[in-house]
Chain A
Amino acid sequence: MATEESKTLSFDFSTLRDIDSCLKEVMKLQKQLEAERKTATKKEQVMMQSLQESKQMALHLQQITEALAKERKAVLEKSERERLLWKLIERINSSFDLEHILQSTVDELGHHFKVNRCGIIIPNYKTNKDLVREFAIGEWKRPKETYSQVSLSVLYRTVTKTLEPLIINDTLTHELTSGHLSEDLRSILMVPLLQHNNELVGVVYLHQCRKQRNWSEHELSLLQAAAGPIATAVEKSKLFSKAKSWASREKLLNRLTSRIRGTLNINVILERTVAELGQALVASRCFINIIDPKTSREQISHEYSATKVEPLGVKKEFPLIINKMAEKNVDYIAISDIYKDPRIVKLNEKEIEQLYKTGARAFLAVPLTFQRKLYGWLCFHQCDTPRSWTSEEINFIQSIASQVSVTINQAEMVEQLTEYQTKLSRELKQAAQLQSVLLSGGADIKKNLHIAVSYQPHHNVSGDFYWICELAPHIIGILIGDVSGKGPAASLLTGYIIGEMKGLLENQRTSWDPAAFLTSLSDSIYEQNQYSDFYATAWYGIYDIVEGKIICSNAGHPSPYLMKGEVVERLNDEPGVPMGLLSADDAVGGYVQKEFYLNPSDRMVVFTDGFTEQRQLNGTFVPESWFKDALLTHKKYTLKDLPEELIRRLKIESQGAPADDDRLIIAIEMPECNTLKLTNQNEINEKVKLIIEDAINKSLPLALEPSLKLGLVEALYNSFRHGLPNAKDKDKNYITVSWWINEGTFSITIKDPGPGFNWQVLSKNKNIKDVDVLSEGGRGLPLLFEIFNKVVWNPSGNAVGLTMKW
């Protein structure tokens, strides 16, 4: 604003001398005044400008002040929000317990907003049990039952539907609340709790009671800001709870899996499985419905039922029913509420009734399949209330079902295996018995021939074998062998070898020729070897106990030991290739045949490698020399005791280590034998009398005397009639008779110098009853077969062997 200002100019009147000068002075004054006025105007202008600027500045200052105040307010609000948020975040981060978080949050918000109530609602659509926490002061506190029902209110539904805040400044006038509220609730602010993906997790609300309250923008904004961390807390808690539940299920799955792997007792596994699953999933029932593969009937094998839930009952048939509501080959059947499931129309009335009778509302059934085979179903019932089976639950149950299917499959396999093992064990036992019978074929001969055998199989059925065959009373074939490998397969080959061996022993071309015998047996095994890779070692010898002569061949078998007086020596029998490895064409030269002699009381010991390849406890082999040393130190033992003593000694040498292999040993002693020669048939009576006296002295029952006499007379007259007159060598024109008696067995061999006879044909008619009663001859040979237990001839038919037992 411009202001008038007066100024006084000084004037010296003494200078007024004339008008002109006066005028001049006036002019001068005027000029001065003009100048002064101009200056004043100028000043005024400057002043005005200044004033204007001052005004502008003041305005600007005012604006700045206002802006600063606004800014300060915003900062304060922001700071308040941040403080609140930080508080909430801190609470959320300090715990995984959602209920605790929610309670402390509503307490914080309630205090902060200075409201009468503050609450949070987290709905649970699965269980229909919402999680509600409320803060209230004084008289506005209300029972939990009341505020738990908030989710049913119109206001709640409005917010959850629109996902927008609901601001009611005055309930008396608001359309949603006017006339509906019974209590003195005047102002409501409700904000949805949204996850980051805008998914609703609940609501937070503020209540102002009795006194109306206008909710400010700031308050709305603050509550919305607070809604973020609350939603995060709920999400975090849900994730945590899911992770916890997943971990617990994983743990359960691992436990069940390890239990399944750890035991084959299916009943224990399945019983615990249904119990733990039922508890883990908080189901009313959990049961396994097994399908009988033979009859296709279904029944409950194992069942868990929660407390106060009536079990359906183990062995209840066709308990599932709901499988008829689903398509075939489904991964699972889930029913949330049987009363609302449209698929129920697929059931008939009886089935529906049965289903309702179970008391279950929700059902879940997962098939138990393994390699496309359906074993049954793993089933769950939720009684009384509906239940939405989550995908996590279904996935989890499917994992368990897969393990259970493996268990059932395992159990089925175990059952089959056990059945097979029992059968195999029984058959092995039978095989062992059979083998024992087969192997004891030479037992009777052993008695009469001073032979002792000990056989200790390593397995039930074993690979070692032996056979002692009386080729003639004074000539025996001794076979000992060992099939590679052990157990049933080796035993079967042993059985095969025994069968083949018997055939070869019946054929004199091979039984009297060790090299031919082993070659034929080897060929036979070789033919079988195209189906397997077995081989066998064997030693075969023909032992003439009258002459003490042994002819033998060896197919890769340990060579026998000879015990001659004080000397023990290994027989040099040049072992050949084990049997079954080469065909007859490939085996150049075949098997070598060796011949050696025993004197009376000399012994021969044949054995299998179980005696020479035995380990000690420390794993090293017992030195092979032990056997020879033991024979030297054990020569005083009787023949009968020798094998067992050698086995006992081996046990000591091996320091008690378990047997590595079968142990088979045969000890033979050259017996003392009676021999006489007859040149005239008139001597028959006398010599027969002599022989019978010897037999009676050696315990021949008197009742058998006539029979023995008749037999000897028949045989001797035969020799005189057919052999002596046709003697090839006139210097040996006599009949040799050798006999020996041992342990109730009389054996005799009668040899004439003739060419022999075709006994294979002529001795065919063995039965005396088959002889024509009107025939005057032909009774001689049948009588021999009638009287003696065994009648055999040598291949040429000029020596007969007779054995009588009592």
Chain B
Amino acid sequence: MRFVLFSCLIVALLGSWLYFAKLSVDEQYRTLMRLESEIKSQTEHNYVLQAEWAYLTRPERLLRLSNSLLQNNAITPERILPITAIPMRRAASSPALNTEAGVENVVY
């Protein structure tokens, strides 16, 4: 009899514990749902912002604005030089530049 009563008690306790666990899980599900909904909403918002950004930065528009506001032109070949064409930095110990009187030597 004691065994039966003890088993019943255990079952009752386990049942209660499971019930509260379920409530807790449900609460977490609701939190998850809310977060998922928030993520979805933010993702959608992000899609809209990205689409707007893509629309505003479309090359056709940038080219048109650049032509009308900046008067930029394509780089001509003579303005593109190999890296070797750039003069090296002058060493500190190298002879100073010929300078006019009254102008200080400039060390690069």
A and B bound?
A: no
